């Protein structure tokens, strides 16, 4: 009888949270597959037995994290407003990217597990597909508003997502000498110009069409 999803009291919820946070941390450091349940319980300052009191297995922990992550990512999609070709659009884009990177800082492992197809579990996969479909759809819509030929929408949105996700990965996991700010700025300009029809001379700096 695998323990699970009972009503939890305060202490139980706290322990579960400790384990989830530890999972996020350990997965981020070592990668999901290389992470050991042992590491997780050590970080969470609890025991093996306790782990299986709250999660039926390692994958179940990832699934739990994936649910949280999906809801955060879908939130981003829902809140993505119009992006015009002017400096206002760039700012909106910048804001979106900053929030995405911040989500990635917390849930990078989950997103990578989705993008790099690290787990075979159907449920986890579905969560990722749905969340990223929403983001891609939102971005595609905004691009069409900005004048993109609809036949190109899908490919463009996919390409854009790849850029954003990999850049977030790079900034959060690889040791580059670049800080979030700088990288988000660069990316915003690039994306604005490449996907939302901003002209080369336009930028937050000038703020006006020329």
Nearer of residues 34 and 79 to a copy of itself, judged by Cβ: 34
Q: Is 10 in the site for a copy of itself (CB under 8 A)?
A: no
The Cβ of residue 109 has, within 10 Å, a number of other Cβ atoms equal to: 26
Nearer of residues 77 and 190 to a copy of itself, judged by Cβ: 190
Q: Is 38 in the site for DNA (CB under 7 A)?
A: yes
Closest CA to 90 of 11, 209, 196: 196
Least distance CB 46 / DNA (angstroms): 4
Which partner in DNA, a copy of itself, none is near 162 (CB below 5 to 8 A by kind)? a copy of itself
CB 40 within 8 A of CB 62: no
Q: Is 43 in the site for DNA (CB under 7 A)?
A: no
What DSSP line would sit under 63-102, residue for residue? HHHHHHHHHHHHHHHHH-----SSHHHHHHHHHHHHHHHH
Q: Binding to a copy of itself (CB under 8 A): which residues in 153-182?
A: 155-156, 158-159, 162-163, 165-167, 170, 173-174
- The Cα–Cα gap between 129 and 32 comes to 19
Closest CA to 148 of 136, 159, 161, 157: 157
Q: Is 15 in the site for DNA (CB under 7 A)?
A: yes
Closest CA to 184 of 111, 93, 80, 82: 93
Which partner in a copy of itself, DNA, none is near 177 (CB below 5 to 8 A by kind)? none
Q: Is 183 in the site for a copy of itself (CB under 8 A)?
A: yes
Closest CA to 198 of 81, 80, 86: 86
* Three-class DSSP labels, 133-171: HHHHHHHHHHHHHCCCCHHHHHHHHHHHHHHHHHHHHHH
Of the ranges 42-50, 100-108, 154-162, 188-196, which one interacts with DNA (CB under 7 A)?
42-50
Of the ranges 13-21, 82-90, 114-122, 133-141, which one interacts with a copy of itself (CB under 8 A)?
114-122
By the criterion CB under 8 A, which residues form the site for a copy of itself? 2, 31, 33-34, 38, 112, 115-118, 147, 149, 152, 155-156, 158-159, 162-163, 165-167, 170, 173-174, 183, 186-187, 189-190, 193-195, 200
By the criterion CB under 7 A, which residues form the site for DNA? 2-3, 6, 8-9, 11-12, 14-15, 35-38, 46-53, 56-59
């Amino acid at each position: 009888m695998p323990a699970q999803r009972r009503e939890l009291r305060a202490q139980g919820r706290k322990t579960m949270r400790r384990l989830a946070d530890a999972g996020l941390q350990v997965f981020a450091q070592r990668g999901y597959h290389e992470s050991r349940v042992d590491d997780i319980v050590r970080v969470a300052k609890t025991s093996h037995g306790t782990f299986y009191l709250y999660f039926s297995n390692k994958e179940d922990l990832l699934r739990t994290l994936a649910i949280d992550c999906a809801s955060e990512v879908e939130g981003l999609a829902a809140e993505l407003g119009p992006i015009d070709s002017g400096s206002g659009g760039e700012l909106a884009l910048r804001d979106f990217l900053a929030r995405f990177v911040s989500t990635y800082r917390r849930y990078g492992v989950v997103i990578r597990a989705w993008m790099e197809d690290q787990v075979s579990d159907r449920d986890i996969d579905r969560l990722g597909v749905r969340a990223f479909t929403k983001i891609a759809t939102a971005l595609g819509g905004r691009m069409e508003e900005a004048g993109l030929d609809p036949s190109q929408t899908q490919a463009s949105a996919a390409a854009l997502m790849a850029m954003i996700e990999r850049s977030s990965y790079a900034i959060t996991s690889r040791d580059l000498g670049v800080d979030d700010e700088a990288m988000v700025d660069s990316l915003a300009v690039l994306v604005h110009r490449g996907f939302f029809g901003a002209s080369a001379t336009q930028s937050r700096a000038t703020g006006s069409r020329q």
